[in-house]
């Protein structure tokens, strides 16, 4: 091997995730890891032919349907994957024996390898299978969701038989896809299009009435084809192709699939659109080339290169890939769920995870995607206003969990994880109010980084002003103490609920109000008519603005005199537990102490004060950052608390000049799903952790800061990193940051 070949081979390995055996116990985790997608939909890495107990799923942005308890959920779309391979061996006289269905839980498997190529989003599985009755097949399955053609899904199966006889391929579209037993789809129609030979299936969600048509076409080398049939099985139309099997002679079958929903086009046009799309596929190689070119553009913008740490390099790319396949590129009516589009967890609902953890990646590298996500919030101002009004406030109070309508969709009661007969009250939808400021923060950050004044005038200002209206009316005046307060809330640390004056909430509310005043001033100069329009629509008269200033001045910000900030009023009175003394442990502090028990302690689930110091870094002195870092770090349940924590903790460790400590937190975030650190990756990718991993690399180790004066870096690389290279876009200008690190001997 030449040096160049060796280099290429090594570089390839920095772009792939592989497994060399199929672990039935870990199959849900593997399905999540091997999810493919294109920002329109994602498909979990279940096997084409199926496997007992699998959780096969395709989730399409915006395709929600009502569900008990959880209000609404992304409906698992009709399954486009099924492709089963059957082999029949010819006997001595040429008569065919019975067909044996290939399955990984029967016969013998050798040379198994499944690989996700992150560079172009292609999932490949190779293996040799010996049937229980003896025939042998070498199989390769490849699949991808075309990034350049969002409605197109492509699957190819190559088989080299070591037998004489016949191969049969059965390819279906399965309308019985369900969400843990709940079937969201009603059958509408199906059929075979004689002109193209493509089959289609039309279904409709039961409550939301979304129509979906999926179509498929099968392609084989005509010379090898023995016969072709269409099985009109209701709700599972199937195309069947039979091919002669000759030892050593490869057979290739391609399944082209298109998906359209009535969110894309009128219901009456979907069938023609899907059939047209599968007929127009120019061939496997051309489709691969188009997809590859689209991915090249994505990676050109977003890749982060690390030298000196292959694990970090691959993990960073994996997390970026997961963000990129979930990111809506052409639709601003949808958001990214906490578990992206890769699993059933959190039912596709979006949280502050988007604005604070995922959005910065897009704001800095793909502003068009960030804008789509922020537009989603703008479109749902009506829902946020209704929520504020229902609670007796003015302005926009965004829901803690949001789906297709912008209404609050946090379940009120859920079964207890250990004892499903018991119900647990979920309070986040009622009192985790900081999300309104988080959204305003993200809108402002987008503006600061992109300089997109037109968007700020058209949409961002309204988001910031109307959330400010909410904060001003939600603030309670405590006459005895002469201060405004936010009582009965939940801050980022959810181990403590029903607290008063959570510092993160109070300070971000104050920031939201201050920023709103600044934005209104700016708007009066930039677009006076729009300023007048919003002032009248939101009733921003002098009295209201004076009240905002009063709240800003008199909001209570709990703190101790020596720079130590109090997470919420009374936090320091809770029992101070030495978390380190509980090691080694395998459970979260909440599991060890119970829900009420942990709330009586100072143990926190995720950074809360440190989260605030991260977001408003420029407003706190270095000594304050250090003092609070030292206090809160040992009290945080880093390993078993929230997956949102480690990336932020890494950034703050860099802020206090501790890169190697930061690395421990960073790699915990980076591995969250790859190594199933919390044991729940089977429910889907931890989207906030994935987005946070990018932030930890760029804002933590890279030390990138954008201020009104421009951008600069304050790098803080881990000892063993030789180089960190990333790109972003500042006010329309592409920037490449290339940081080298002289290793200490
Ligand atoms: O938004 C988060 C929250 O901060 C912690 N619990 C899980 C939610 C969804 O990821």
Segment 428-444, tens digit of pLDDT? 999 999 999 999 999 99
**pLDDT band, very low/low/confident/very high, at 744 (cuts 50, 70, 90):** low
Mutational pocket test of ligand 1: of 428, 644, 673, the residue with most ligand atoms within 8 Å of the beta carbon: 644
312: CA distance to ligand 1 center in Å?
24
595/358 Cα distance (integer angstroms): 28
pLDDT digits (tens, 9 = 90+) for 26-77: 999 999 999 999 999 999 999 999 999 999 999 999 999 999 999 999 999 9
List the residue whose alpha carbon is closest to atom 4 of ligand 1. Answer: 492
**Domain total in the chain:** 3
Under a CB-based contact definition with an 8 Å cutoff, are residues 227 and 210 in contact?
no
Q: Are residues 289 and 324 in the same domain?
A: no
Q: Are residues 582 and 715 in the same domain?
A: no
Under a CB-based contact definition with an 8 Å cutoff, are residues 423 and 412 in contact?
no
Using DSSP's 3-state secondary structure scheme, residue 262 falls into coil
Q: Is the pLDDT of residue 514 over 60?
A: yes
Q: Are residues 573 and 689 in the same domain?
A: no
Tell whether ligand 1 has an atom less than 6 A from the beta carbon of residue 352: yes
Closest CA to 385 of 375, 394, 376, 377: 394
Task: Give the catalytic positions in this structure.
Answer: 494
594/605 Cα distance (integer angstroms): 13
Tell whether ligand 1 has an atom less than 6 A from the beta carbon of residue 642: yes
Which ligand 1 atom is at minimum distance from the Cα of 642? 5
577: CA distance to ligand 1 center in Å?
24
Q: Are residues 707 and 565 in the same domain?
A: no
Q: Are residues 595 and 663 in the same domain?
A: no
373: CA distance to ligand 1 center in Å?
18
pLDDT digits (tens, 9 = 90+) for 256-303: 999 999 999 999 999 999 999 999 999 999 999 999 999 999 999 999
Residue 623: inside a domain: no
- Cis before 584? omega within 30: yes
Tell whether ligand 1 has an atom less than 6 A from the beta carbon of residue 351: yes
Record the pTM.
0.97
Q: Is the pLDDT of residue 650 over 90?
A: yes
Which ligand 1 atom is at minimum distance from the Cα of 400? 1
**pLDDT band, very low/low/confident/very high, at 420 (cuts 50, 70, 90):** confident
Q: Are residues 328 and 393 in the same domain?
A: no
Mutational pocket test of ligand 1: of 348, 352, 353, the residue with most ligand atoms within 8 Å of the beta carbon: 353
Residue 4: inside a domain: no
Task: Please report the pLDDT score of residue 1 as a whole number.
Answer: 46
Q: What is the mean pLDDT of the chain?
A: 96
Mean pLDDT of 401-412: 97
630: CA distance to ligand 1 center in Å?
24
Tell whether ligand 1 has an atom less than 6 A from the beta carbon of residue 604: no
Q: Are residues 198 and 248 in the same domain?
A: yes
Residue 615: inside a domain: no
Task: Please report the pLDDT score of residue 277 as a whole number.
Answer: 98
Q: What is the CATH number of the domain that holds 399?
A: 1.50.10.10
Q: Is the pLDDT of residue 628 over 50?
A: yes
384: CA distance to ligand 1 center in Å?
19
Task: List, in order, residues 6 or more apart from 176 with CB less than 8 Å away.
Answer: 79, 183, 185, 235, 236
497: CA distance to ligand 1 center in Å?
14
Q: Which residues pair with 240 in a beta bridge?
A: 170, 229
Instruction: Return the residue matching tokens 């699957």.
Output: 155
Mean pLDDT of 522-550: 98
Mutational pocket test of ligand 1: of 351, 504, 690, 692, the residue with most ligand atoms within 8 Å of the beta carbon: 351
Closest CA to 73 of 180, 153, 150, 188: 180
List the residue whose alpha carbon is closest to atom 9 of ligand 1. Answer: 338
Which ligand 1 atom is at minimum distance from the Cα of 352? 1
Q: Is 308 left (phi over 0), alpha (psi -120 to 50) or beta?
A: left
Q: Are residues 398 and 310 in the same domain?
A: no
Tell whether ligand 1 has an atom less than 6 A from the beta carbon of residue 497: no
Q: Is the pLDDT of residue 2 over 50?
A: no
Q: Is the pLDDT of residue 5 over 60?
A: no
Domain stop point among 602, 629, 653? 602
Tell whether ligand 1 has an atom less than 6 A from the beta carbon of residue 644: yes
- The percent of the chain in helix, strand and coil, each rounded to the nearest 5, is 40, 25, 35
Residue 624: inside a domain: no
Q: Are residues 273 and 206 in the same domain?
A: yes
Which ligand 1 atom is at minimum distance from the Cα of 686? 10
pLDDT digits (tens, 9 = 90+) for 92-130: 888 999 999 999 999 999 999 999 999 999 999 999 999
Which ligand 1 atom is at minimum distance from the Cα of 339? 10
Which ligand 1 atom is at minimum distance from the Cα of 605? 5
335: CA distance to ligand 1 center in Å?
15
Tell whether ligand 1 has an atom less than 6 A from the beta carbon of residue 494: yes
List the residue whose alpha carbon is closest to atom 10 of ligand 1. Answer: 338
444: CA distance to ligand 1 center in Å?
22
Q: Are residues 441 and 499 in the same domain?
A: yes
Residue 391: inside a domain: yes
Domain stop point among 297, 327, 342? 297
Residue 154: inside a domain: yes
Residue 11: inside a domain: no
Q: Which domain holds residue 239?
A: 19-297
Task: Please report the pLDDT score of residue 226 as a whole number.
Answer: 85
Q: Are residues 333 and 409 in the same domain?
A: no
Tell whether ligand 1 has an atom less than 6 A from the beta carbon of residue 688: yes
Mutational pocket test of ligand 1: of 642, 643, 681, 689, the residue with most ligand atoms within 8 Å of the beta carbon: 642
Q: What is the CATH number of the domain that holds 163?
A: 2.70.98.40
Sign of CA dihedral 579, 585, 347, 649: positive
Mean pLDDT of 669-687: 97
Q: Is the pLDDT of residue 733 over 50?
A: yes
Residue 10: inside a domain: no
Q: Is the pLDDT of residue 332 over 60?
A: yes
Q: Are residues 116 and 258 in the same domain?
A: yes
Domain stop point among 256, 275, 297? 297
149: CA distance to ligand 1 center in Å?
32
């Amino acid at each position: 091997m030449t040096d160049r070949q060796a280099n290429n081979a090594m570089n390839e390995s920095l772009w792939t995730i592989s497994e060399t055996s199929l672990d039935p116990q870990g199959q849900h985790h593997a399905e999540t890891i091997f999810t493919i997608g294109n920002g329109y939909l994602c498909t979990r890495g279940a096997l084409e032919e199926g496997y007992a107990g699998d959780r096969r799923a395709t989730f399409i942005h915006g395709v929600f349907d009502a569900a008990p308890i959880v209000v609404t959920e992304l409906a698992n779309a009709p399954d486009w994957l099924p492709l089963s391979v059957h082999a029949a061996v010819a006997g001595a006289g040429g008569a065919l024996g019975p067909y044996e269905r290939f399955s990984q839980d029967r016969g013998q498997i050798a040379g198994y390898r499944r690989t996700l190529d992150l560079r172009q989003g292609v999932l490949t599985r190779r293996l040799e299978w010996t049937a229980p009755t003896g025939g042998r097949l070498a199989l390769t399955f490849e699949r991808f969701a075309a990034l350049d053609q969002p409605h197109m899904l492509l699957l190819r199966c190559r088989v080299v038989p070591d037998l004489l006889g016949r191969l049969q391929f059965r390819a279906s579209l399965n309308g019985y896809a369900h969400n843990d037993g709940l079937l969201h789809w009603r059958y509408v129609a199906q059929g075979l299009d004689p002109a193209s030979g493509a089959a289609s299936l039309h279904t409709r969600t039961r409550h939301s009435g979304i129509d979906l048509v999926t179509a498929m076409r099968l392609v084989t080398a005509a010379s090898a084809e023995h016969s072709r049939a269409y099985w009109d099985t209701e709700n599972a139309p199937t195309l069947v192709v039979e091919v002669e099997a000759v030892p050593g002679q490869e057979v290739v079958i391609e399944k082209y699939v298109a998906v359209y929903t009535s969110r894309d086009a009128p219901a009456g046009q979907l069938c023609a659109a899907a059939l047209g799309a599968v007929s127009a596929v120019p061939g496997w190689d051309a489709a691969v080339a188009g997809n590859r070119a689209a991915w090249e553009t994505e990676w050109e913008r977003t890749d982060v290169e690390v030298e000196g740490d292959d694990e970090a390099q691959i993990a960073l790319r994996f997390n970026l890939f997961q963000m990129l396949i979930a990111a809506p590129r052409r639709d601003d009516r949808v958001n990214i769920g906490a578990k992206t589009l890769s699993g059933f967890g959190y039912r596709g609902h979006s949280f502050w995870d988007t604005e604070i953890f995922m959005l910065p990646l897009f704001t800095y590298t793909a502003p068009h995607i960030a804008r789509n996500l922020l537009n989603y919030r703008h479109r749902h101002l009506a829902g946020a206003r209704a929520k504020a009004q229902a609670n007796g406030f003015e302005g926009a109070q965004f829901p803690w969990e949001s789906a297709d309508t912008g209404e609050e969709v946090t379940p009120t009661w859920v079964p207890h994880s250990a004892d499903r007969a018991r119900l647990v009250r979920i309070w986040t939808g009622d009192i985790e109010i900081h999300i309104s400021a988080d959204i305003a923060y993200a809108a402002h950050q987008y503006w600061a980084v992109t300089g997109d004044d037109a968007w700020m005038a058209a949409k961002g200002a309204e988001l910031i002003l109307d959330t400010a209206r909410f904060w001003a009316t939600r603030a309670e005046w405590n006459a005895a103490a002469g201060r405004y307060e936010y009582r009965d809330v939940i801050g980022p640390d959810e181990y403590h609920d029903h607290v008063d004056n959570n510092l993160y909430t109070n300070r971000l509310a104050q920031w939201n109000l201050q920023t709103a005043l600044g934005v209104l001033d700016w708007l009066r100069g930039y677009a006076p008519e729009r300023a007048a329009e919003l002032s009248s629509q939101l009733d921003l008269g002098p009295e209201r603005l004076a009240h905002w200033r009063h709240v800003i001045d008199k909001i209570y910000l709990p703190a101790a005199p020596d720079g130590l900030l109090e997470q919420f009023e009374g936090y320091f009175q809770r029992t101070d537990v030495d978390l380190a003394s509980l090691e080694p442990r395998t459970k979260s502090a909440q599991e060890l102490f119970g829900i009420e028990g942990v709330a009586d302690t100072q143990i926190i689930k995720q950074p809360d004060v440190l989260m605030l110091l991260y977001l408003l870094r420029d407003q706190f002195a270095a000594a304050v950052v250090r003092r609070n870092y030292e206090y809160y770090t040992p009290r945080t349940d880093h390993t078993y608390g929230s997956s949102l924590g480690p990336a932020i903790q890494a950034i703050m460790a860099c802020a206090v000049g501790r890169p190697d400590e930061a690395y421990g937190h960073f790699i915990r975030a980076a591995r969250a799903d790859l190594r199933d650190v919390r044991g729940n990756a089977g429910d889907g990718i931890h989207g906030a952790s994935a987005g946070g991993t990018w932030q930890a690399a760029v804002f933590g180790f890279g030390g990138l800061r954008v201020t009104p004066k421009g951008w600069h870096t304050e790098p803080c690389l881990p000892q063993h990193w030789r180089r960190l290279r990333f790109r972003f876009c500042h006010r329309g200008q592409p920037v490449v940051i290339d940081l080298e690190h002289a290793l200490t001997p």
